[in-house]
């Protein structure tokens, strides 16, 4: 099970390190992590990555980046390449988040190029997909599968292998007071899992979109983890979700 958080641009350097140290201390002692049930992760801002990596990895946490460029090198001012991220020990790269699509003009084509670049360098894409408007689960699943296939087109065409994390985040649920409904998440999560069942990529499906404590036990049969946002800004909340994951294992 994969459980972690993107810190977006909420924290500066000092608070990022404070948060990472606190969560790492929880993970270093938590039986869900130390027993291999949960892989925790954190995705900080680019400047914090070099300092976050040794803190997080010592506790068994993966570290991600919030974006990357599709080229390996060149005159791309302000961008960061997959090879450089790999040099820093980055294991994951968040790609195609709804905010980047809406604010920075990302398209299925640019997302596909970034996914292919990440996989070329052994970085697992955290590929964000989600329907824009609230609707029926079957329509949402169909929209997400179209988006997923478009985002993987180049990687599949190149015969890419490796790990893929599909982050299902309904756009209408991002930043909302509550996540999508349990039945909605479970239906879309199950559809995405079924669609990826025979994919050569080692795929997991996690849920994001106002995800926090209390949700995992209700959706765990249809997803492989959770992508946490602001509800995990308190490290204790992260710990409670690890407790929930452990309790799920103990009741099975």
Its sign, for the CA torsion 231, 222, 20, 86, is negative
Marked catalytic residue, from 30, 69, 97, 184:
97
Its sign, for the CA torsion 56, 58, 61, 65, is positive
Instruction: Choose among 137, 245, 155: nearest CA to 192.
Output: 137
Can you give the pLDDT at residue 229?
Answer: 87
How would DSSP label each residue in 64-122?
Answer: EES--BSSSSSS-TT--BHHHHHHTT--EEEE--HHHHHHH---HHHHHHHHHHHHHTT
Place of tokens 């995990």: 232
Instruction: Choose among 94, 81, 133, 138: nearest CA to 228.
Output: 94
Question: How far is 112 from 120, CA to CA, in rounded Å?
Answer: 12
Place of tokens 């090198």: 73
Marked catalytic residue, from 94, 106, 131, 169:
169
Position 116 pLDDT exceeds 70: yes
The matching CATH number, chosen from 3.40.50.150, 2.60.40.420, 3.20.20.70, 2.60.40.10, for 74-206 is 3.20.20.70
Position 126 pLDDT exceeds 90: yes
Instruction: Choose among 63, 191, 39: nearest CA to 130.
Output: 191
Segments making up each domain of the chain, as ranges: 1-66, 74-206
Question: How far is 101 from 235, CA to CA, in rounded Å?
Answer: 29
Can you give the pLDDT at residue 250?
Answer: 80
Q: Is residue 29 annotated as a catalytic residue, yes or no?
A: no
Position 251 pLDDT exceeds 80: no
Q: Is residue 97 annotated as a catalytic residue, yes or no?
A: yes
Whole-number mean pLDDT of the chain?
97
- By percentage, how much of the chain surpasses pLDDT 70? 100
* pLDDT tens-digit map of 22-65: 999 999 999 999 999 999 999 999 999 999 999 999 999 999 99
Three state DSSP letters for 183-230: HHHHHHHHHHHHHHCCCCCEEEEEEECCCCCCCHHHHCCCCCEEEECH
Phi-psi category of 162—alpha, beta or left, where left has phi over 0 and alpha has psi -120 to 50?
left
Position 252 pLDDT exceeds 80: no
Instruction: Choose among 4, 69, 56, 33: nearest CA to 229.
Output: 4
Q: Which is higher by pLDDT, 231 or 187?
A: 187
* pLDDT tens-digit map of 130-180: 999 999 999 999 999 999 999 999 999 999 999 999 999 999 999 999 999
Which residues does 116 contact at the CB level (< 8 Å), separation at least 6?
A: 70, 154, 155, 158, 160
Write out the two tokens for 133: 């408007």
Q: Could you tell me the pLDDT band of residue 249, with boundaries at 50, 70 and 90?
A: confident
């Amino acid at each position: 099970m994969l459980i972690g958080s993107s810190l977006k641009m909420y924290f500066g350097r000092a608070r990022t390190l404070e948060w990472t140290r606190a969560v790492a201390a929880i993970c270093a002692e938590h039986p869900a992590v130390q027993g291999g049930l949960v892989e925790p992760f954190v995705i900080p801002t680019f400047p914090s990555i070099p300092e976050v990596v040794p803190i997080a990895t010592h506790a068994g946490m993966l570290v991600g980046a919030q974006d990357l460029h599709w080229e390996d090198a060149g005159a791309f001012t302000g961008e960061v390449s997959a090879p450089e991220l790999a040099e820093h020990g980055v294991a994951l790269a968040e790609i195609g988040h709804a905010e980047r699509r809406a604010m920075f003009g990302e398209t299925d084509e640019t997302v596909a190029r970034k996914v292919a670049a990440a996989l070329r360098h052994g970085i697992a894409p955290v590929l964000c997909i989600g329907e824009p408007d609230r609707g029926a689960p079957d329509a949402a699943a169909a929209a997400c599968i179209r988006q997923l296939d478009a985002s993987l087109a180049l990687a599949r065409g190149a015969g890419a292998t490796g790990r893929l994390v599909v982050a299902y985040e309904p756009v209408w649920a991002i930043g909302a007071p509550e996540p999508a409904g349990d039945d909605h998440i479970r239906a879309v999560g199950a559809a995405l899992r079924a669609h990826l069942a025979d994919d050569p990529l080692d795929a997991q499906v996690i849920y994001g979109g106002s995800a926090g404590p209390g949700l995992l036990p209700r959706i765990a049969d249809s997803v492989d983890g959770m992508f946490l946002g602001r509800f995990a800004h308190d490290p204790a909340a992260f710990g409670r979700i690890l407790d929930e994951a452990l309790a799920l294992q103990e009741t099975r």
